[in-house]
Amino acid sequence: MHRTTIGIDGPVSVLEYGGSGPLMMCVHGLEGSAFNWRLVADRLTKDFTVVAPDLRGFGYTPLGDHKATVDHNAGLVAELIRHYGAPAIVMGNSMGGLISIIAAADHPDLIQRLILVDPAAPVATWTRVAPAHAATLAAPLVPGVGKRIVETYRAARTAEEGVYESYEFVAAHPDRVNPDAFADALEIARLRRTQSWSAQTLVDASRSIAPYVLSKRRFRSVLHRVHQPTLLVHGLEDQVIQVATAHWVAEERPDWTTAYLEDIAHVAMIEDPDRFLEVVDVWLEAVSAD
């Protein structure tokens, strides 16, 4: 694993995990980083050249004069694929899954296949959204005070406490999270506290996701422009993106392959790398044989 900085209208930090073969680009979710793929990347390098960027405003990539929206970061993913050499397999989690969908729809010549891990998508049933989870997701959206809410939340906790609370939210069993993954997340949590743009990045990214998760029409307009073979992986314990949402996406795209993982929540590649890779490997072999 090697961290490098690529100039694409400003510095972009990328973890190059190495490997040989076709390009696989891994796209992290909201408040995530390129580290999110570390537990699966090494094994993927047997067949692919694996890279993972820190999106604009996240991880070690500064925001600069750019926007931290999903649409702008989809454009960044496309530019990075051009840099490394198209076509690519793009794998995205949560917000990164939505970014991957947008990039695949807008740049079909650059992306060969998609692997979506609990991608951000329209809320299927509002009555099933737990109030505490709704409050966590909605806080950055509050007009005028979203940034202050984020800053106040962070100031009230140590970085360690913030990371553990995050894993309580996204993992079915936070105590089982690999210590390396916890250490990576802690490094990024500490880094965020030194970045003047970090809270605003979270607000802007969250607000850019909202139109896609609040409007099925908006999401459909992108979803049905994706023509690449796609694998949708979803944890049955996910409290961030409802399982009912994954069912709805699967009904909209019956041509996609859908896999549901028991006892897994929002970040399968961190919670159970072995099981996650087993699903990915089987699918990749199947589509390669077609």
Check: CB of residue 140 under 8 Å from CB of residue 202.
Answer: yes
Q: How many domains would you assign to the chain?
A: 1
Q: Consecutive sets of 10 residues in the chain, 290 residues long: mean pLDDT of each?
A: 95 96 97 97 96 98 94 98 96 98 98 98 66 49 65 89 94 95 97 93 92 92 97 96 95 98 98 97 89
Token duo for residue 151? 């800053």
As given in the structure block, the two tokens for residue 270 are 């961190």
pLDDT at 143: 52
Residue 133: predicted pLDDT? 47
pLDDT of residue 288: 84
Residue 141 is predicted with a pLDDT of 53
CATH code at 238?
3.40.50.1820
3-state secondary structure 123-166: CCCHHHCCHHHHHHHHHHHCCCCHHHHHHHHHHCCCHHHHHHHH
Question: Which structural domain range is residue 248 located in?
Answer: 2-289
Report the alpha-carbon angle 258-129-265, nearest 5: 45
